[in-house]
Amino acid sequence: MISTQQLKLLKNLYIYRSFGYKYYNDIINNRSLSNSTNDLPSTFDELQTFVHNCHLCSLAKTRKNVVFGEGDAKAKLMFIGEGPGMSEDESGRPFVGRAGELLTKIIENVLFINRHDVYIANIVKCRPPNNRVPTQEEATSCLPFLQKQIQIIKPKIIVTLGATAYRYLTNELEASITKIRGEVIDFGLYKLIPTFHPSYLLRNPSAKKYVYADMLKVRAML
Ligand code: URA
């Protein structure tokens, strides 16, 4: 039912766009006007089907696969990245490329948790072309899906990976990851710990010690 309504709405939006209408900035800037999580399916399977049919932003045109997220739907710990890269777009799974291999090592060798026992998702569920940073408009239209995933999973701890994930999740768009990484932040019902993105660690291996320290904090809190 919801998806039929959304498809009708989308059709109308395409018609408006053919007349020359553009996105209205208030929709991008005012979160309360974005897709509400209340309108979204409340079971994981239904939500996944819903997201797989999403065409709310232009990333839908270039994606090969929607990367919904994966892991334990009852996980205590959730990792949130920025958006799928090439390997993730090809496979439909989050964090499976080089950065993903490093994330898996961090989860398994520092936290001593199996990757299947955490939940891994991204701010945007479709790959931005050339791995560019997702725009605010893309993040705003995709964020309700992630918020709904968080509501369903109810993790104890959320770890955001890199500046982009932290900024879009919290709407602190100017936050500096070097200043806030490792802090334990109250984020609604959850504890949020921002840390560096594994891709950053691949380029700057000397920063691994900071992520190691952050993960020790996570481990102690689980
Ligand atoms: N980088 C991300 O932020 N997310 C992925 O899924 C892969 C790489």
- Which pTM was predicted? 0.86
pLDDT mean over 115-123: 98
The pLDDT tens digits of the residues spanning 50-108 come to: 999 999 999 999 999 999 999 999 999 999 999 999 999 999 999 999 999 999 999 99
pLDDT attached to residue 222 = 95
- Amino acid 209: pLDDT: 98
Q: Which of 63, 78, 79, 88 is the best mutation target for the ligand 1 pocket, counting ligand atoms within 8 Å of the beta carbon and taking the most?
A: 88
Q: Is the CB of residue 81 below 6 angstroms from any atom belonging to ligand 1? A: yes
Q: What's the CA angle centered on 194, arms 175 and 186, to 5 degrees?
A: 90
CB-neighbour burial class of residue 189 (10 A; exposed 0-12, middle 13-18, buried 19+): exposed
In what side-by-side order are the strands of the sheet with 185-187? 70-71, 119-122, 77-81, 157-161, 190-195, 185-187
User: How many residues can be counted in the chain?
Assistant: 222
- Which domains does the chain possess? 4-221 (3.40.470.10)
Q: Which two tokens stand for residue 143?
A: 């964020």
Which of 29-33, 43-47, 142-146, 203-207 has the weakest average pLDDT?
A: 29-33
pLDDT tops 80 at residue 11: no
- Percent of the residues in the chain that have a pLDDT greater than 90, as a whole number: 82
Atom number of ligand 1 nearest to Cα 82: 3
